[in-house]
Amino acid sequence: MRQDIGPVGQLFFGRDDAENDLKEGGLLRDGVFRPSYAYREALLGRRTLIIGRKGSGKSAICSQLATPGGHQGASILITPDDTAGDEIRRFELQGVTADTAKALIWRYIFAVHAARHLTVHARVAHGRRVPASVRALRSFLKDSGESGESGLYDRLRRGARGLQSANLSLKAFGVEAAFGVNGASEGAKASHQLGVLEDAVAAAFDDLDCLSSHPPLLVLVDQLEQVWTVDPESHALVTGLLLAAKHVTGQYNGAVRATLFIRADIYDTLNFGDGDKFHSDEIRITWTHDGLKDVALARAQASLGADLTSDRLWGWLFPATVEGEPTAEYLFHRALPRPRDTIQFLNACQSVAAERGGPTITENDVLVATQLFSRWKLQDLAKEYLVNHPFLRSLFAMFENTGYVVMRPALAARFEAHRAALHREFPAYTESLTTQGVIDVLYGASFLGVRRGNDIVYTGGTQAPPLPSEDEFHVHPCFRPALNSLASVDLTAFPRTPVRNSVVAHGGLAAVLVGADVALLVNRDRRLLNEVGGAGDRLLRQLMRSGLPDTTRNEVYTQIARVMASAEAARERLREGAAHDIEEHVLAASAYFESLAAELAAHGFEDRPITRRLQDEARALIRSVGGASGGGSGSDSGT
């Protein structure tokens, strides 16, 4: 009997990975798998190449298809480990390319798995006298040492030895000795021998009439990232697998289907001649906020009860809003669109609230979890791309403690400051470590998005990489807290500090001024403050057509408005008879406008009209201090 620990204590959104989530206590084991479009396409056999980012749900789909009931027919799951990967990488055959050699060893693995399946399946599923073709397969498995239980590594080792020596045990199929043609290459002999085995397996499927009586045998290959390194042999390993998987469907007349689950960062590095033949097989896993909300609700219901509604989850268990934004949108906007991130973020919120001992999750709990989650994800991003882009972690320093909007010129300047150190530390990647190369890598990892029209586009789906003509980039909201990059640009705020009393500032001038002279001094102060207000008005009008990013424009607007508000407050004190050093106030506004222009230029906005106008207004205010006693361009209407 579970102790009543309150809803937050009972709340659980599941394990981080599908393998553990299917074990005792995992939510996938409790039936919360949400069938996605990619899953349905794989189930129907319309797509056999499932591509997605780490954590996007590839293994969840694979595990679901491999479980009883997940696929109507039989299935075989292959997940190579380091030792198996090393065996495939080492496998080569004289006379054929590395891709072809790796395809042959994968075809051998598929054929042996299919043969083992048939020797059991014929008796269990078809319930009749086992045909001679199946008995021949049983003899082959026994002769080859494949009839007993063994791991993938041992099967690969036996297959590699047999193919390289052209000495597969084929006498069960009427081939008594080593097969081949005198003078033929290793590759040609291996291909001939493998053809005999595959034809025998195909004959057994035909004799049993499997294709018309039940769904095909589904061979699933997952976890290829465990055997991936950046070298030609790994490239050939995956390319050979693709070629072998496509070969399987035709070879066995549809009785066997191979479905592969490959990480996007691996697949996108592949470059081989037949790559264009796989487009119809591909499907990339993508997630919308609605889809992730569905995942969150299903997992919350699994832990708290099916009567939990979406409104209760996002309006009672979680706060309705966080920083004025609907909580679900707040959370999913600050995570990469994949289930693993959603699960981790939600579990972090639950953990913070549970540790506090609260009955529900508060807005502050979510804010604390946001910082924690952001740090996790920044570290995880570097690990995710460690093999392909080992320098990625070193690039993050270019975005720390600065604005999250980065213009191309500013990014180029930041990169130039780090270029020499990066080239020294990663000499093998100097061709990639250019401004455009860095942009492409950061965009591909979803660290940076690019402005296109009114939208900020992050990588995924069919989005094209940034073009050289695109110059506005945004750090993904997921990583901003960890980088302390919370504002669009890191503008210095205009200080609202009182200016010094004019009696002190003017060395007692006010003490000797009487009558008209005092009025003259006050009138001059008003004119100076009007100059500040007029400069602010002109800048705000320019700002509205500045072409700055919306968030940056809003922050600049806020700071200019602070300057104007400070001037209005000083004008109000003048009305009340309080004397202050107005010259100092105007010079402070001038210096701030100059500083603001410099900061915008540093962020890549040096060629924008608003930047130049800030500099012009700053100089005009300095001139007004020197000549305002005789009048100026400002008016006295505000007094």
Residue 506, pLDDT score = 41
Residue 362, pLDDT score = 96
128 or 46: which leads in pLDDT: 46
Residue 22, pLDDT score = 54
| Coil/strand/helix, residue 621 | helix
Query: What radius of gyration, in Å, describes the C-alpha atoms of the chain?
Result: 34
pLDDT band at 498 (very low <50, low <70, confident <90, very high): very low
| Coil/strand/helix, residue 629 | helix
Residue 512, pLDDT score = 44
pLDDT of 26 > 80? The answer is: no
Chain centroid to CA 77: 27
- Mean per-residue pLDDT for 435-447? 94
Chain centroid to CA 409: 24
Residue 181, pLDDT score = 54
Query: In degrees rounded to 5, what are phi and psi of residue 451?
Result: -75, 130
pLDDT of 315 > 60? The answer is: yes
594 or 580: which leads in pLDDT: 594
Is residue 543 within 8 A of residue 473, CB to CB? The reply is no
What does the mean pLDDT of the chain come to? Answer: 86
Residue 428, pLDDT score = 93
Query: In degrees rounded to 5, what are phi and psi of residue 321?
Result: -140, 155
Task: Read off the amino acid at residue 530.
Answer: N
> How far is it, in rounded angstroms, from Cα 567 to Cα 571?
6
Residue 354, pLDDT score = 93
pLDDT of 635 > 60? The answer is: no
pLDDT band at 236 (very low <50, low <70, confident <90, very high): very high
**In the chain, % of residues over pLDDT 70:** 88
- In this predicted model, what pLDDT tens digit does every residue of 499-547 receive, in sequence order? 444 433 344 444 444 444 545 555 788 888 899 999 999 999 999 988 8
Question: Any idea how long the chain is?
Answer: 639
Query: In degrees rounded to 5, what are phi and psi of residue 187?
Result: -65, -45
pLDDT of 119 > 70? The answer is: yes
- Mean per-residue pLDDT for 65-92? 89
Say which residues have a Cβ less than 8 Å from residue 579's Cβ, sequence separation at least 6: 501, 502, 503, 510
DSSP classification of residue 315: I
pLDDT of 152 > 80? The answer is: yes
Residue 14, pLDDT score = 84
- In this predicted model, what pLDDT tens digit does every residue of 252-283 receive, in sequence order? 989 999 999 999 989 988 988 888 889 999 99
Entry pTM: 0.81
Q: Provide the strand spans (E) within 274-397.
A: 282-284, 321-322, 325-326
Rounded to 5 degrees, what angle do the CA atoms 536, 486, 418 make? Answer: 100
- Mean per-residue pLDDT for 129-138? 90
| Coil/strand/helix, residue 322 | strand
Lowest mean pLDDT among 156-170, 214-228, 235-249, 421-435: 156-170
Lowest mean pLDDT among 161-165, 232-236, 326-330, 503-507: 503-507
Q: Among the ranges 28-42, 82-96, 116-130, 449-463, which has the highest mean pLDDT value? A: 82-96
pLDDT of 211 > 90? The answer is: no
The candidate with the shortest Cα–Cα distance to 529, out of 595, 584, 593, 610, is 584
Instruction: Please name the residue ranges forming H helices in 506-575.
Output: 509-512, 516-544, 550-575
Say if residue 373 is exposed, middle or buried (CB neighbours under 10 Å; 0-12, 13-18, 19+): buried
491 token code pair = 């503008």
DSSP 167-233: ----GGGT--S--S-TT--HHHHHHHHHHHHHHHHHHHHHHHTHHHHSPPEEEEE--GGGG--SSHH
Lowest mean pLDDT among 25-29, 129-133, 394-398, 406-410: 25-29
Say which residues have a Cβ less than 8 Å from residue 542's Cβ, sequence separation at least 6: 609, 610, 613
Task: Read off the amino acid at residue 25.
Answer: G
CA separation (Å) from 28 to 21, 219, 229, 298, 332? 5, 21, 30, 10, 21
DSSP classification of residue 498: P
505 token code pair = 């500032």
The candidate with the shortest Cα–Cα distance to 422, out of 447, 442, 395, 441, is 395
Is residue 58 within 8 A of residue 50, CB to CB? The reply is yes
CA separation (Å) from 281 to 255, 523, 547, 637? 17, 79, 43, 73
Residue 259, pLDDT score = 95
pLDDT of 140 > 60? The answer is: yes
> How far is it, in rounded angstroms, from Cα 618 to Cα 609?
14
Rounded to 5 degrees, what angle do the CA atoms 292, 294, 298 make? Answer: 120
Residue 305, pLDDT score = 83
H or E segment to which residue 450 belongs: strand 448-452
pLDDT band at 27 (very low <50, low <70, confident <90, very high): low
The candidate with the shortest Cα–Cα distance to 57, out of 113, 111, 19, 109, is 19
